[in-house]
Structures are given as C-alpha cells and as structure tokens.
Structure 1
Amino acid sequence: MEIYQHNRTFQENSTVDNLGDLVWYLLPIVVTVPPMGLPMNAPVIRLLLGKPGICSTSEILTLNLALIDTLFCFMLLAEYIHFVCSQTVEAANFLAWGLNQAGGPMMLCLLSLDSYMAVCHPLVFLRLKNPNLRVSLCLVVNAFAASCCCLVKVNARFKWNVIMAILSTTTVTISTCNILILKSLRRSGPSRKDIHPVKKRAFKIVLTAFVLINFHYISPLVFYLLTQIFPEQFSAISIITCLCYLNVSVSSLIQPLSYLVRTKQLPRMRCHCGSSAKEETVVSV
C-alpha cells in the first residue's frame, strides 16, 4: 500500500509539473488529427445518409462510428483550447479521450458481432435484422460511452480501469469473431470463387476492426502498465504519451478511410473531384 501511495503521489506531482509540456506534446495531435479526420468522416456520413431507403445493418453501425469520430475531432479541438487557457489537472482530463477509447472500440465490437451473426448464424441474423435494433444498440453504446467520459472527468483514477476492461472485452470478442468467420469461410470450398460476397464483406469488416483494435488501442494500455510498474523510468507525461495518444487518435481517420477503400468509393470520389476541377477550368477559360 505504501508503494502504491508513493507511485500515485509521484505521478500526481509529475503531472502537475509537466502540464506546460503537455501543451506541446498534444499540439501535433491537434494539428494533424482533426484537420484530416473531419474531411475523412464527412464523405462517409454523406454517403450513408444519402442512400435511398434503409441502409444495411453494418452501415448503421458504421454511420454511428463516423459520427463518434467526428464528435471526437470537434471535442479535441475545443478541449485543447480550454486546456491551453487554464492548464489545470482537471482540464487535462479530456472527455474526447474517453469518447475515442470507449465509444470507438465498442462500435467496432458491434460491427464484428453483426458480421459474425450474418456469416455463422444467417437464420438468426435474418430474424434480428430489424434496423431499429441496431439503432437501439447504438444509443446504448453512446450512453455508455458518455457515462465513461463523465466518470473519467469526475475521477481520473477510474479512467484506465474502465478503458482496460472495455479494450480487453472488445479485443477478445473481435478476435473470436475473426477466427470463427475464417473457419466458416474455409468450409465454403477450396476455391475462393465459391465464397459468397456477403461473407467476403463481413470478413473485411471484422479484419478491419481487429487491426484497428490491436494497432491503435493496445499501445496506450501497454504504456499505462509501464507507468504503473516503473513510475520513475516512465513519466505519465512525456514524448511517449504524445506518440500513444497520436496512435489512438489516428483511428478516427483510418476507420473512414478503410470504409471508403472497402466500398470502392475513394476512387469515385477522386474521379468526381478531378472532373469537377476540369469543368471549373473550362468554365473559367
């Protein structure tokens, strides 16, 4: 207990002393992520909302994930400006981090479960294909993510306990779905031509979620464990903090980019932008 109290006191003192450094450590994230994340998520939201009729179940979850990433970019900008003005420990606990590290992984987990049900249990999936069910699940996830953000803001000591529980659960769930879908695809036949397009799309969704969880969200957990085990060697606020949070924040622009590439919308957007630029040039001439 004395060692724990000493580690916590050491981290709190180092945090207070390094708040000025934290402003500069977070500056690269604020300069790069929101200006790139907002243009990436905007076309995804426009494409999904512009579709006639009811979207597929995975697109409902993807739309909600894009909205979470867009809100994260706006909150990150607003909270960083507030932190620069005040530079207090309370202002350093960004609500945006809780939204990104709780809402994003849970939505990726729902996408994986939805794809798993579509591939491995198609009859049950057809019975539960009502879009209202997906909308209700999105509302539950959003409410839970908002609760996590408020909990982190009130008491930052609960932050990593909540994040570790969420990331551990989502990682295990997504990995299990990925393995089960792979097994189902191997049973479809020795030739890839025998694989149904729905199964191919589901596998791409789960694989994307699996890569995002392991690449973007595991690094901050490893860094937190190192700061708890070796508090004198690993400061709570350092250049490693910037790299970890930059890695987490980049997920808000990698996810919409992967959707545009997966649905083959990115080349169309480039062609559309190129043709519009040519038309403007002709008109100006």
Structure 2
Amino acid sequence: MTTMMNSTSSLFLNSSSRGPPPWFQFSVCSVAPYGFIFYFGVKVFNLLVGTPCNVLVLWQIASRKSDACTSDIFIFNLAVMDAFFCLMTPIEMVNRLLLDDQRIWYFQRFAYGIKDVAPLYLVCICMDRYMAVVHPILFTGNRDNKIRFGISAVVWGLILAYALTKSILGVMSVNELFSGLILFSFALMVFCNLSVIWALRRCVSGKEEMHPVKRKAFKMVLIILAIIITNYLPPVALMPFVSYYSFVAFRCQISISVFSIMDLSCSIEPLLYITKMDRRDARCCGRCLHRRRKKEEAGKV
C-alpha cells in the first residue's frame, strides 16, 4: 500500500511539473479522462433537464389546492435542493475550467454538502409512505402538516450544518459521516419500501382493484425504489472495495463516475415525479398556462 502511494505521489509530482489539464482535479487523471467527461456531461444534463423539471415540480406542488399528498412537503424541499444544485453547474464549470477561485470553491463544497445529505428527504418520504400503508391508524392520527414542517426544519438544520462543515473544513472532514449517512439512508429506504410493497401486495391479494390511495402510495414507493437502486446503490456497493483500487482508478474513474450517477438524481427524481402526475394535474397545468397566455394577450390589446 505504501509503495502504491509513493509511486502515485511521484507520478503526481512529475505530472504537476508539466501542469495539469484545467478540467482534472488531479493531474494524474490525464491518463484516464473518461470519468471527467461523463461528469461534465451529467452536469450539463442536470442544468438543461433537471432545472426545468424541478421548477415544474415546485410549481405543481405549490399550485395544488386539493388532493395534496402528505409527502409533498418533503418532495418540495427535495426539489428546492435539486434545483439549487443544478443551477450551480455554470458557476462550478467556470470556476473549475477557468477561474480556480478559492472563495468559489467554498461555495461549491457547500452546494455538494447540500446534495450529499439530500437522501434524508428521500428517507422522510419513505417513512411517510411506510406509516401511511403499514401503520394507517397511527398515520391518520398524525396527518397534521405542522409535524412535517417541523421535521423539514430539523432536516434543513442538519443539512446546513453538514454543508457548512464540508465547505469550511474540507471534504475529508465529513467523509466518514457521508459514508455512514449513505449506508443508513439506503438501508432504511430499502426496508420501508419493501415493507410497503409487501403490505400492499397482501391487501390486493384476492381483490380485483387496489384502493386509489394505496395505488398512489404504491406508485410513489416504486419511484423511490427506482431512485435508490439507480442512484444510491453504486456508492453503497463501492465503499467496501475502496482499498482495492489504485489511486488513478479510484479517483479518476470510479469515484467520479459513481458520484456523477448520484448527481443524476437531480434530474431523475423530478422526471419520475412528473411521470407520476395524474393526467388531471397535467390538464390543470395546461389550462392554467392557457389562461395566463390569454390574459397576457388581452392585456396587450
């Protein structure tokens, strides 16, 4: 292990003397650029797709006057975080490629800190659906949104504390905490979702049709399970094998690709939520936009 680190250090110093390419975090990564190409591709995709999708989710939840889901509070907060992270893309790319300003790096680490802890809101959504399906009596007695607003405030406190720590003290200061958070969130979300699926399957067995509320919960659970498997399973699967990879393989190829997949959740989450929207909601959105356009045209006349 020491020999590998020494050889890596010498390689880093030798390549540093030639000057690193501007888009590589480590100059030794010039021999393996494909991970960073994928990274920047994800960044652009999040900016172009994730930003409008998250804004649409925010607008759809904010404009909903009836038939609101108890999880919408958590989904709204998650969309705010994802939209903020997507909008950071131009700043990060300009700073990484051109400026290399230390003050902007603080802000970038803060943004990544917020994104790191985003799974906490997925956990909240999973727990909310778990209580609704597995413990419906207890859930019915606690439908007051004040409780969920309080939980959201606590989660935001944890998120800001984590993000500020990462921004000020650096990435390594929260490395172990991040690993523990991802493992904890992944395990809890899988448990909640599998419990909900099992409970719903038992309810449906012998019946022709699922209750609309339970069908809605079932769709939400499937969406979250898809997000978990797609975006959060790779880092969980990677963590036990970190010591087996070389510095170049881990830093330049594996970790950058895995965390890019996590970043994709900024676009995948709102896209899946939009596909879950009822046609009635979509028609409502269309009617609202049509009315607004007619008012603007009337105002011009």
CA distance change for structure 1 residues 271 and 108 in 2, over 3 Å: closer, same or farther?
closer
The yes-or-no answer on 1:251 pairing with 2:253 is no
Identity %: 20
Note the alpha carbon deviations across 1:193-245, whole angstroms, 9 max, x for none: 3432222221222222222122112323445554433234624134x444323
Q: Is the 8 A contact 1:48 1:59 kept in 2?
A: yes
**Aligned residue type for 1:198:** V
RMSD over equivalenced CA pairs, Å: 3.6
Aligned to 1:73: 86
The structural deviation recorded for 1:125 is 0.8
Q: How does 1:1-285 map to 2 (within 5 A)?
A: 3=1, 7=5, 10=8, 14=12, 17=16, 20-22=22-24, 25=37, 26-52=39-65, 55-87=68-100, 91=105, 94-103=109-118, 105-153=119-167, 154-191=169-206, 193-223=208-238, 226-232=241-247, 234-238=249-253, 240-265=254-279, 268=282, 272=286
Note the alpha carbon deviations across 1:144-192, whole angstroms, 9 max, x for none: 1222222222132134312211111111111111222122223324245
Instruction: State the alpha-carbon separation in 2 of the partners of residues 76 and 64 from structure 1.
Output: 19
Unaligned runs of 5+ in 2: 26-35
Note the alpha carbon deviations across 1:45-73, whole angstroms, 9 max, x for none: 11111122694311111111111111111
Q: When the two structures are superposed, what TM-score results if normalisation uses the length of structure 2?
A: 0.76
Instruction: State the alpha-carbon separation in 1 of the partners of residues 66 and 10 from structure 2.
Output: 53
Runs of 4+ in 1 over 6 A off after TM superposition: none
The structural deviation recorded for 1:12 is 11
**Aligned residue type for 1:22:** F
Instruction: State the alpha-carbon separation in 2 of the partners of residues 51 and 11 from structure 1.
Output: 56
CA distance change for structure 1 residues 221 and 32 in 2, over 3 Å: closer, same or farther?
same
Instruction: State the alpha-carbon separation in 1 of the partners of residues 236 and 76 from structure 2.
Output: 27
CA distance change for structure 1 residues 233 and 176 in 2, over 3 Å: closer, same or farther?
same
**Aligned length in residues:** 274
CA distance change for structure 1 residues 194 and 270 in 2, over 3 Å: closer, same or farther?
closer
Question: Which shifted more, 122-131 or 26-35?
Answer: 26-35
Unaligned runs of 5+ in 1: none
**Aligned residue type for 2:24:** L
Question: Which shifted more, 82-91 or 157-166?
Answer: 82-91
Instruction: State the alpha-carbon separation in 2 of the partners of residues 8 and 255 from structure 1.
Output: 42
- Secondary structure of the residue aligned to 2:143 is coil
- Secondary structure of the residue aligned to 1:169 is helix
The structural deviation recorded for 1:251 is 0.8
Instruction: State the alpha-carbon separation in 2 of the partners of residues 89 and 8 from structure 1.
Output: 28
CA distance change for structure 1 residues 232 and 164 in 2, over 3 Å: closer, same or farther?
closer
Question: Which shifted more, 149-158 or 16-25?
Answer: 16-25
Instruction: State the alpha-carbon separation in 2 of the partners of residues 174 and 13 from structure 1.
Output: 42
Q: Is the 8 A contact 2:134 2:196 kept in 1?
A: yes
**Aligned residue type for 1:209:** I
- Secondary structure of the residue aligned to 1:188 is helix
